[in-house]
Amino acid sequence: MSKVYWEKNIETLNRKELQKLQVERLKTTINQAANSDFYKKQFAENKITAESINSIEDIQKLPFTTKQDLRDNFPYGFRSVQQKECIRLHSSSGTTGTPTVIFHNQHDIASWANLTARSLFSAGVREEDVFQNICGYGLFTGGLGFQYGIERLGALSIPAGAGNSIRQIKLMQDYGTTAIHAIPSYLGHLHEVFESEGLDPKKDTKLRLMVIGAEPHTEDTRRRIEELYGVKAFNSFGLSEMNGPGVAFECEYQNGLHIWEDSYIVEIVDPKTLQPVADGEIGELVMTTLDRQAMPIIRYRTRDLTRIIPRDCSCGRTHRMLDRITGRSDDMFIIKGCNVFPMQIEGVLMKIPEVGNEYRINLETINKNDEVLVEVELQREEFRDEYDVLSKITKKITHDIRDEILVKPIVKLVEHGTIPKSEGKAVRLFDHRIKN
């Protein structure tokens, strides 16, 4: 594929010029953030001014911002412009407490749309495409975030929204959809609906690529999706505190996620010491906005675990690459003295051909001992009342998970379609342990 760019003058800046731009924008961001109640207090207490920033390394002089800070200052404590300048807000659901809310003005929406268009272009989406956005609209950023980016790029958009799989398939066929965006867990279910309708997306659609994101997933999950649909699936990373989609994206080479450094400063730190780690080492992703006016956020602790990939990309873009998110520091659970991330278990399951797309991890207290119970759906044709067959699959899953997490799980095979599906992002982990 030829080397093409959405904004070549930005995407191929040499590192020196890119860092110079970052420092300039960081100074502007500090001055803008000082208009908010939260940062005005933070900067005064820590004697911080824009003049104290002369290099990228100087960002370490600034305090971290956490999700709890956003909650404690809900709803307007981080807003850096007058309310009459704000044109949109996005918010988390708030089902586990006070929601986190992000405000945008006209500049912010235009900048975000451009970043999403740049991201889609890097993955190969063009104005000739018919792009079907199978994602929730409203307060969730995935719908409108991609919608504005698609329109900015110039492709025909189908704002299909989430769910209603029969209708999704009909839209694909009626309008000749060539590209889609959806969360990985839904694409497994959608393929099952294709099959139940006697259809094959490889033959009965015009799909040529897809974009997946919004929930962490393993490389094995991505490859399985690509096999089901017969097209490349490009990984997307975003979080609402940093806008939403369009923060980092894979290009056509799928070597990693290009993080758009003209709009974000990225740090990887040790989640315990909060000190920087070397490129190539896994740590917690910390991010700072550089091109947002209504609500800039500085050194935000995302809790996402990843690393900077220490190599250049063949596409020629100079913006550094993030590895896929391996989990969240607050998703990790400890069982029998071992630290375990749910994605470790997913990685094992998706390598086993007999396993379907759905699974659930239950942490239980059994006979006063904490145990990992993994419920696994099998492929539709695999669940048969043949003890030897089911026993062999159970032993294989048990052995492979134990090798990965160093704890022997209790594996329960269930029929296809048994495990309830979540609305929106998949929920895989349920902790039912008895607390002492």
Q: Which domains does the chain have, with CATH numbers?
A: 1-329 (3.40.50.12780), 333-431 (3.30.300.30)
Q: Does residue 196 carry a pLDDT above 70?
A: yes
Query: For residue 423, what pLDDT is reported?
Result: 61
pLDDT mean over 6-24: 97
H/E run at residue 244:
strand 244-250
Higher pLDDT, 217 or 76: 76
Task: Please state the pTM of the whole predicted model.
Answer: 0.85
**Average pLDDT score over residue span 42-71:** 95
- pLDDT of 341 reads 83
pLDDT at 95 over 60: no
Residue scoring higher pLDDT (404 or 275): 275
pLDDT of 343 > 60? The answer is yes
First to last CA, the chain: 58
Who has greater pLDDT, 95 or 102? 102
Average pLDDT along the chain: 93
Q: Using pLDDT thresholds of 50, 70 and 90, give the confidence band for residue 3.
A: low
pLDDT of residue 383: 62
The predicted model gives 23-28 an average pLDDT of 98
Taking the C-alpha atoms of residue 387 and residue 91, their distance in angstroms, rounded to an integer, is 49
Percentage of the chain surpassing pLDDT 70?
96
**How far is it, in rounded angstroms, from Cα 227 to Cα 236?**
19
Residue environment code for 149-162, b if the CB has 16+ CB neighbours within 10 A, otherwise e: bbbbbebbbbbbeb
* 359-373 mean pLDDT: 91
pLDDT for residue 73 is more than 80: yes
Q: Over the stretch 240-252, which tens digit does the pLDDT of each residue have?
A: 999 999 999 999 9
Residues 6+ apart with CB under 8 A from 216: 324, 325, 326, 327, 328, 343
Mean pLDDT of 333-347: 85
What is the DSSP track for 153-222?
HTPEEE---S--HHHHHHHHHHHT--EEEE-HHHHHHHHHHHHHTT--HHHHS---EEEE-SS---HHHH
pLDDT at 1 over 50: no
- Over residues 429-436, mean pLDDT: 84
pLDDT digits (tens, 9 = 90+) for 172-191: 999 999 999 999 989 998 99
Q: Give percent of the chain above pLDDT 90.
A: 77
The pLDDT, as a whole number, for residue 98 is 85
